[in-house]
Structure 1
Amino acid sequence: MAMTEKLMWKVYAGALGAVTTIVAQKVVTQVWVASTGDTPPDPNDPDTPLTQALIWAVASGLGVGIAQLTMNRFVQRRWVRNFNHASPGKLRNKLDI
């Protein structure tokens, strides 16, 4: 049972984590477009001004990191509520140092 639960946890948390990351990136991109009227810059393009590249990097990193943190907490709570014990694995997100 422990192996099945561990596999179920990895699939559940992995799938929700992937979907959360994709959705968060789309939302951050749409917020950028709505607020600036421009598509997000490519931070690696040497023609992109440094300040604009830094603002985009910080905004997208924070947006995705906060979304992952929120989803990780949600997934952990749902697991405990459904199985009456802590999850068999630990989740990480981009905000972890």
Structure 2
Amino acid sequence: MALVKNMQFKILTAAASAAVGLIGRHLLTKSWRDVTGEEPPDPADPDVPVVKAVTWFFATTLVISLVQLLVQRGAAKKSMAKTGDLVDEPDYAAKPFTG
């Protein structure tokens, strides 16, 4: 039963992350255009100034990480409300290095 709950949690989290990630990326792109008046830079383009590429990189990384955190917490809350307990620790959770 724990395996089923863990799988449901992973499926719910993956689907929600994908959907919210697309929305977050769209909003981030729109925000960049509104603030700078330009299209977001391609960080791999050597003609893009380093500061602009790094700024875009950090902005997208921050938004994606924040979305993943919120989706995982929301999915855990939904799972707990439905099943009465939290799922097993996800495989992608940070674990200490044991050597």
Does the aligned pair in 2 maintain the 1:20–1:67 contact within 8 Å?
yes
The residue type equivalent to 2:36 in the other structure is: T
For 1:79, the equivalent position in structure 2 comes to 79
Q: How does 1:84-95 map to 2 (within 5 A)?
A: 84-90=84-90, 92=92
1:3-40 CA distances to partner (integer Å, 9 max, x unpaired)?
A: 43333222212111211222211111111011111110
Calculate the TM-score normalised by the size of structure 2: 0.81
Residues 92 and 3 (structure 1 numbering): CA distance in 2 closer, same or farther, change over 3 Å?
closer
For 1:60, the equivalent position in structure 2 comes to 60
1:31-80 CA distances to partner (integer Å, 9 max, x unpaired)?
A: 10111111100000000001100111011111111111111111111111
- Gaps spanning 5+ residues in structure 2: where? 95-99
Runs of 4+ with >6 A deviation: none
Using CA pairs under 8 Å that are at least 6 residues apart, name the structure with larger relative contact order, 1 or 2: 2
Does the aligned pair in 1 maintain the 2:9–2:76 contact within 8 Å?
no
Does the aligned pair in 2 maintain the 1:25–1:60 contact within 8 Å?
yes
Kindly indicate whether residue 64 of structure 2 is the aligned counterpart of residue 43 of structure 1: no
For 1:7, the equivalent position in structure 2 comes to 7
- Percent pairwise identity: 26
The residue type equivalent to 2:84 in the other structure is: N
- Aligned-partner Cα distance in 1 for 2:54–2:5: 41
What is the number of equivalent residue pairs in this alignment?
94
Calculate the TM-score normalised by the size of structure 1: 0.83
The residue type equivalent to 1:54 in the other structure is: V
- Aligned-partner Cα distance in 2 for 1:43–1:53: 5
